[in-house]
Amino acid sequence: MTNWKEEYRRKLVSADELAAKIRSKDKLSLGGGNNEPRAFLEALAARKDNLEGVILYQMLNVFPHKIFSPGMEDHVMYNSMYLTGPAKKVVQEGRGVYTPVHFSQIPLFLNKYISVEWDATGVSPPNEYGYFSYSLDGCPYNLPTARTTRNVVVSVNKNLPFVYGDTMMHVSDVDYIIEDTYPMIAMPDNEPTEVEKGIGANIAELIEDESTIQLGFGGIPDAVASFLTEKKDLGVHTEMISTNMVRLYKKGVITNRKKTFNINKMVGSFAWGSMELYEFLRENPNAELYPITYTNVLPNIVKNNKMVSVNSALEVDLTGQVCAESIGTLFFSGTGGIYDFARGALEAEDGKGKGIIALESTAKKDTISRIVVTLQSGAVVSVPRTDVDHVVTEYGVARLRGKSARERANELINIAHPSFRDELRSNAKKINLL
């Protein structure tokens, strides 16, 4: 115990001292969410005039930083792997760049194709044996990257909870330690809209007792959870553990005891939501976080019987192609894990998995249909039609698996907003789809 504490003190540096070690053209992987190394980023921004060609790779940015200031891109370029928070505006304005990559492949991308020299991530204080936990948002790609990169930086924050699973790094395995005390950010509860509740009710009908679920974040997943309170023995295998999952666990709906992989464990890769969620995960042996190379890979997803994946989309065309990451050519979010789980649910080993794509039937106050004949020009196909199972709107469920293109078109038109159905049918006939 004494030895690791001495090593901790020897590796401890200030944020300014650490930033001074960064050289022009260095490539850095940064923690996201509540694991952003904020003090380090501010110190790095302060010495921008000494740097050229530095690239920062990150997913799930949530905090504004001086690193996003106009003109910073001439010194430090921000490269987002999923657009959130202030980073979205930076990329959309051309002051940063976006890299499309499946969530499950980000560690491979950073280690093999980019070869980042640094990984800097927030962590919990070490336990009595000298192990840090990569806590809420550091496991997905930072932990596997830190295990192979040249310079490992941890930003120790007493507010970050120690979370179990494959989350740990020993003091002896890091190169630099800084300390920070920034508060965690928690998301407030949002009451789902009536449209989201309609979608949630339709999705809940598809989820059987003893299913293992993957739900995302936002109004639709929250609405789904509100309709699951009568289900029995649900399990969780997901990329993101959310507040609604914790509340279903406390109600006895999620038990994880009928899972066929990681039995009795709620498994995810990161956590985003309320303080209630964060405290639930603190040293809880019933919930574990793992790198994204564990949670989001096909061989592991398919081991879960009755695997149900629920993901949101921006638009779906009449053959079933799903766009979830751009509005035409405008980058809107990112590739994320939608394809990982859509494919994984389809290939569940028991043959009872269900992939669900959820979206509101319209946008912009009912003036635009999200069910379209063809995707917008330049729109990204996030899930190919061959891997789409169910599409759900507030008007019902379209079952696409095994259906012809004509059958798919009819199914999807039937769940489109009524005011667009005739137009969709007419335009579908023009291209011989109906």
Give the per-residue SS3 of 140-193.
Answer: CCHHHHHCCCCEEEEEEECCCCCCCECCEEEHHHCCEEEEECCCCCCCCCCCCC
- Give the residues across from 168 on adjacent strands: 133
Task: Pick the catalytic residue from 239, 288, 325, 394.
Answer: 239
Burial of 35 (0-12, 13-18, 19+ CB in 10 A): buried
Q: How far is CA 248 from the centre of its chain?
A: 20
Rounded to 5°, angle at Cα 396 from 417 and 205: 155
Q: What angle do CA 24, 30, 33 make, to 5 degrees?
A: 150
Look at phi and psi of residue 364 and say left if phi exceeds 0, alpha if psi is from -120 to 50, else beta.
Answer: left
Q: Which residues pair with 154 in a beta bridge?
A: 121, 177
**Residue 391 CA to its chain's centroid (Å):** 20
Quick check: is 117 catalytic?
no
- Show Cβ contacts of residue 368 under 8 Å, excluding neighbours closer than 6 positions: 362
| Helices vs strands, H then E, count in the chain | 15, 26
Known catalytic residues are 239
